[in-house]
Amino acid sequence: QSFKLLGFLDVNSVPCSRESVLYGSVGSLVVGLGHFLATSRVRRSCDFAVGGFICTMLGYWFYCRYNLAQQRIRQRMLKEGMRNKILFEGSSLDPERKQTGNEGSDS
């Protein structure tokens, strides 16, 4: 099942969107209810709830996307390192072979 936010944003297919909407909902509930308990003004509390939703959702969206980008960079570096390991293993360019020194002399 797909859930579309605002009619066009498919929440299941876009990375970090599901968690952002969920955290935004919780943030709006906390901010709106907190403001209502403090002031007893319904309309103003609803305004604060909408603002809390937007701020929480965008804040978590950027945090999650930043971590996702870092993870993809680390995966790319690891993949490149594994490819180089397989490519250079046993050759004269192998860094592990240089560290062991002369393997043929047992003096």
Higher pLDDT, 20 or 84: 20
Give 104's pLDDT tier (boundaries 50, 70, 90). Answer: low
Instruction: Count CB-CB contacts under 10 A for residue 64.
Output: 17
Backbone φ and ψ for 36, nearest 5 degrees, come out as -65, -40
Would you kindly state where each structural domain of the chain is located, as residue ranges?
17-86
Instruction: Encode pLDDT of 41-77 as tens digits.
Output: 999 999 999 999 999 999 999 999 999 999 999 999 9
Record the pTM.
0.69
Angle, vertex CA 41, rays to CA 38 and CA 45, nearest 5: 80
